[in-house]
Amino acid sequence: MSKNIKFIEGKCLFWPDCRCYELMLHYQWKLTEYDGPWEFEELQTADLMIFVMLSCVSHHCPDSRIRLYALRQLRDPFWDRQRAGKGLTEEETRRMQ
């Protein structure tokens, strides 16, 4: 099978060995266990990466429980900014702290 083909009938063939799963585990750990300071650029990157990962998982994950979880997360108004193509601002970051 070609490595270029990763979806059959819209579902990811590599789950859970795909980058989305790796990112989910990485940020799950980082957001719950990491107690160090976050730099603004690091937060911007995390914000975008989590949004992209949730979007992919919500459409392509073969595990319906995980797909539903991602869909529920994306319904949060927090992600409206990313849907509109706007990144996290420093002012928003300060309000979150």
1-25, pLDDT tens digit by residue? 344 446 667 899 999 999 999 999 9
> Residue 96: pLDDT band by 50, 70, 90 thresholds?
low
pTM of this structure = 0.80
**What distance in Å separates the CA atoms of residue 69 and residue 58, rounded to the nearest whole number?**
8
Phi and psi at residue 38, to the nearest 5°: -105, 130
- Residue 51: the pLDDT is 95
How far lies 74's CA from each of 21, 34, 42, 52, 96, in Å? 16, 23, 21, 10, 18
pLDDT tens digits, one per residue of 27-76:
999 888 878 788 888 888 999 999 999 999 999 999 999 999 999 999 99
Q: How far is CA 42 from the centre of its chain?
A: 14
Q: Give the residue from 53, 51, 60 showing the smallest Cα distance to 80.
A: 51
What residues does 11 pair with on adjacent strands?
8
Q: Give the residue from 57, 48, 54 showing the smallest Cα distance to 82.
A: 48
